[in-house]
Amino acid sequence: MNHYLLSLVRRLNDAKRPLSRNRHFHTFANAEGRRALRIARRLRSLAHEIREQARRGAPIRVERVFESGSLVRVLLELVHVRARRVTLLSAAEFELLLEGEGVREALDGP
């Protein structure tokens, strides 16, 4: 992930300095900006699920996968809806996920 995309995703997920999509519409008019929006949305959703899993005391598994480069697999067993969420993240995306509020603590466990 290049530096521009990394900083854009980081800024989109920063609650203290939110980046307005309306004010900065030109930033999201290109393919890289749209990709940043997709990544930020996915990471926010995953962070929310991880915090909920930790609150419920349900299992969260994180494992490194070396298929096409270095990937991180996050596996959530959503017992309350009888589902499983499996997400593959790049190493950079996983680092961004860990920056989310309460995510690192939830993954470290009790």
The per-residue pLDDT for 43 is: 94
**Long-range contacts of residues 64-72, Cβ cutoff 8 Å, at least 24 apart:** none
Q: What is the pLDDT tens value at each position of the chain, 110 positions in all?
A: 788 889 889 988 887 877 776 777 778 888 898 999 899 999 999 999 889 888 888 888 888 777 666 788 888 887 777 888 888 888 889 999 999 888 998 888 66
pTM score, two decimals? 0.83
Which residues partner with 60 through β-bridges? 76
- The pLDDT of residue 23 is 74
Residue 54 is predicted with a pLDDT of 87
The per-residue pLDDT for 38 is 93
Domain that holds residue 70: 3-108
Q: Provide DSSP, 64-99.
A: EE-SSSSEEEEEEEEGGGTEEEEEEEEHHHHHHHHT
Looking at residue 68, its pLDDT comes to 66
The count of structural domains within the chain is 1
* DSSP symbol at 60: E
Question: Quick one: which of 83, 60, 87, 59 has its CA closest to 71?
Answer: 87
